[in-house]
Chains A and B, each alone.
Chain A
Amino acid sequence: MRVLGIESTCDETAASVVELRPNGSGAILSNEVHSQIAEHAAYGGVVPEIAARAHVEILDHLVRRALDKAGLRFSQLDGVAAAAGPGLIGGVMVGLTTGKALALAGAKPFMAINHLEAHALTARLTDGVDFPYLLLLVSGGHTQLIAVRGVGEYTRIGATVDDAIGEAFDKVAKMLNLPYPGGPQVERAAQTGDPTIFDLPRPMLRRPGADFSLSGLKTAVRLEIQRLGRTPRPNDVADLCASFQAAVVDVIGDRTRAGLRLFREQFGPPQALVVAGGVAANQAIGHALSRLSTQTGVKLVIPPPGLCTDNGAMIAWAGLERLRLGMTDAMDFAPRPRWPLDAGAQRSHNGKA
């Protein structure tokens, strides 16, 4: 069984073909990703109209390339999946409409995929993880702890009440005039910095529940820069980045530990702790989670970086998981700028969770 997956919810345009093997494992036959970083760099962040324009320009070419690299004709596919949200509506419309058109003209099943669900299920494609497991989703747009109990069965255990973690990284990078995208730049600068120079807060540490808060930490960085009384020098930048990253690492460790505890109380022992989202590529965070995994005895699964950031393979895989359960969607499926995985969860304060 083979499904084409299309992703266009933010600043990556992607198409991929994934095959479901008879033993239940998945194989990525092709995985084409076009990043728009260059288009948005001058603006210091993703500009929705520019993103939408870039998606429509290139998506059908990527679909053709994904088919070519998989060595398949379109007629040899068993279904088409497209991300239908959450994300920037202009881009979502491009991918969703392209996916629907492919499915309609080819008389194939269509799956409208929740982008977050695709992140949540990726560990089953890469590592064959069994349900249930705890997902830590950390990216520029999302910071959530989710109990993944089955396809379509998700319970939110914790989430940020303000900024996403990747967003906090990007905002700190902006304050220090580091190039866009800022997250990896902060991590690089932190390598040569001393994390004990600046005493930054660890918001929400040891609080009940498993929610996150990042905006106070970001403000604390701003105040420290002001306290310097001068434009930060390279060693200041390194120390600020190291101190900031150390605070984030502590927060993620504490909140994930709390999340694991809540998971056990509600659902019993998890099969794994799974990390997804662009921030999963941060090595300091990876090491902290690896320590947590050793301490708690819960297996840690971090898919390869290319499958943690936005990609088409995760959409195709989620499409396969849904298709084999008969969960297909109609042609009138509307794009969803907001689409919480856990419909029952309380609405987050700002929709950034």
Chain B
Amino acid sequence: MRILALDTALPAISACVLDSGATEPLVIESLPMERGHAEALLPLIERVMAQVEGGFASLDRIAVTVGPGSFTGIRVAISAARGFGVALDIPVVGVSTLAAFAAPLVLGPKPAQERESALPGVIVSAIDARHGQVYLQACSQTGAILLAPTVLPLAEAIDKLPPGPLRITGSAAPLLAIAAWSGHRAAEVEGEIVATPILYVARLGMIADPEGAPPRPLYIKAPDVKPPSPFRFSFA
């Protein structure tokens, strides 16, 4: 199986093409980017696919990050992925950014014997949700979910995590580690802390069941709007 993975959920745009069974991607490209994802994503994919023998026609599946992250960014990559799905008539699967951050700590990249000697602990994915909040997920070393994806104020996040030393990854990892240390909890920052690890988006996308992993946004936060009150006049 050949998969194209896309991500624009965080301040970067990334794409990668991976064949099943291969350890290295055919092509991988990631550009840090605060804004302008919508303009830059398709040209980046065009460059990436130009390096793949067989081009788009050789793809069997698309994987895309569904969030949490920037609402706009999530929608840009999902729109592109779903468009590719229609044009090529192939499945599109969604991968959460929190799962993608955790994946290198669960699946590798260190060899197995090294991993066994590593600290046992709770793998925590943390992504900055702004306004003093973090998107959070925790899993065991084998990938079993201990805390389902949620959003919490930074100050409360540490208390919600299961006991044990914390191995924190993701864009809010440094923030969360500082909060842990100030509460005298063992914690270390590991893995990616800027862009979603796109290679692992491809790997998770490859093993995902298309029925169970639809490419639908995982916003976690509701839109920040309230219904207006009815129009009233004061007849003074």
Residues of A in contact with B (beta carbons under 8 Å apart)? 42-44, 47, 49-50, 52-53, 55-57, 59-60, 63-64, 67, 74, 89-90, 93-102, 104-107, 174-177, 225-226, 229-231, 330-335
Contact = CB atoms under 8 A, between A and B. Distances in A.
B223 A53 contact: yes
B87 A105 contact: yes
Contacts of A333: 39
B88 to A, nearest CB: 5
Interface string B133-168: 000000000000000000000000000000000000
B116 interface: no
Nearest to A178: B231
A333 to B, nearest CB: 7
Interface residues of B, number: 39
B225 A102 contact: no
A318 B191 CA distance: 48
Contact of B76 (A42, A53, A57, A93): A93
Interface of B: 36, 38-43, 45-46, 49, 56, 71-72, 75-76, 78-89, 216-217, 219, 223-225, 227-228, 230-231, 233, 235
Contacts of A231: 233
A64 B86 contact: yes
Contacts of A332: 39-40, 42-43
B223 A56 contact: no
Nearest to B45: A104
Contacts of A49: 71, 223-225
A98 B83 contact: yes
B228 A93 contact: no
A94 B82 CA distance: 10
Contact of B41 (A44, A97, A225, A330): A97
Nearest to B37: A93
Contact of B231 (A53, A96, A99, A177): A177
> Considering the complex of A and B, which 8 residue pairs feature the smallest CB-CB distances, nearest first?
A101-B83, A105-B87, A97-B79, A60-B82, A331-B42, A49-B223, A98-B83, A101-B80
Contacts, number: 123
- Which interface residue of B76, B219, B227 has the most chain A CB atoms within 10 A? B76
B42 A102 contact: no
Contacts of A95: 79
B76 A97 contact: yes
Contacts of B216: 57
A72 B81 CA distance: 21
Nearest to B75: A56
B75 A93 contact: yes
19 contacts: A42-B227, A49-B225, A53-B217, A56-B82, A56-B217, A93-B75, A97-B41, A98-B83, A99-B83, A101-B79, A101-B83, A102-B87, A105-B88, A177-B230, A177-B231, A332-B39, A332-B43, A333-B39, A334-B38
A47 B225 contact: yes
A96 B81 CA distance: 13
Given A49-B71, A104-B45, A230-B235, A98 B225 contact: no
B38 A93 contact: yes
B56 A105 contact: yes
